[in-house]
Amino acid sequence: MVNLLERLKQFKATEYDVNREKYDRIVLSQKPHTLFITCSDSRIDVEKILQAEPGEIFHIRNIANIVPREKEPEQHPAVISAIEYAVKVLGVENIIVCGHSNCGGCAALMHIQDYEERLPYTSEWIRQSILLRDCIVEKYPEKSEEERVAILERLNVAQQLDNLMTYDFVRQKVEMGSLRLMGYFFNLATGIVSEYIYEKEMADLIEVMARRREKQRAGSTENA
C-alpha cells in the first residue's frame, strides 16, 4: 500500500521548503494563463506535459474530458462554474481541451448499455457524447471497433471545443481575440502531444450532431 503520509512529508522537505520563494509568490493570489480541461485518467500529468509551475494552470478533470453544452437540459454546474470562474475572474488567455489515447470513457461509449446498471452516474455523464458515437458508427461501418474508438477519442476533443463556444462569455472573448481555444491529443504510447487541427470531415460531423441535437430538443419541447 502506498504510504501517502510519507509522501506528504517528502513534498514539504524536498519540494516546498527547497522552493520556498516560488510558493511564497502564489500564497495570496493566482494568475493562471491556461484552463486545461482533460480526462480524470491518472496517467495524464498536466504540469509535466506543459512544463508548468504551480499557479500557471487552472484545471478541470472529468471522465472523457467533456464540456456540457449550454442549452441542453442535463447541465452540470460544477464543470461550467469552473469555466466561468477561469474566464470571467481569472482571465485565462487559453482554454485547452486535451483528449488521450486508450480512453476508458470513450471505449465505454461503444457499449454504454453494459454500464448503465453498474455505473449509472458514469453512464449518464458520458452519454453527453452519445450522438458523436452514433455518427462515427454510421460514417465508418467498415472500420473495427478499435479504430472507431481512436476516431472518437480525437473527434471528442473537437466536440468539446464546439460545446465551449455555446457559452456567450467564452464566444465573445474568442471573437475579441482575448481568449484562445485549443485542442490537444496525448498519445500515451509515444508521449507525443499533438495540437488538434479542425479538419473539414470532422467539422461536418460536428454540424450533423448539432442538427440532431436541435431536432431532439424540439421533440422534447413538443412532448413537454
pTM score, whole prediction: 0.89
In the prediction, which pLDDT does 221 show? 54
Residue stretches of the chain with pLDDT short of 50: 73
pLDDT of the residue at 196: 76
In a domain? residue 160: yes
| Alpha-carbon torsion, ordered 32, 35, 38, 42, to 10 deg | 10
Does residue 156 fall inside a structural domain?
yes
- Map grid coordinates 466561468 to a residue: 84
The answer to whether residue 212 sits within a structural domain is: yes
Question: Could you tell me if residue 18 is inside a domain?
Answer: no
pLDDT of residue 215: 73
Phi, psi of 147 (to 5 degrees): -70, -40
Strands 57-62 and 180-186: unpaired
Domain that holds residue 163: 30-223
| Domain annotation covers residue 9 | no
Instruction: Please report, as a single letter, which amino acid is at residue 171.
Output: R
The enclosing domain of 112 has a CATH number of: 3.40.1050.10
Q: Report the DSSP beta bridge partners of residue 58.
A: 35
Q: Does residue 2 form part of some domain?
A: no
Q: What's the number of domains the chain is made of?
A: 1
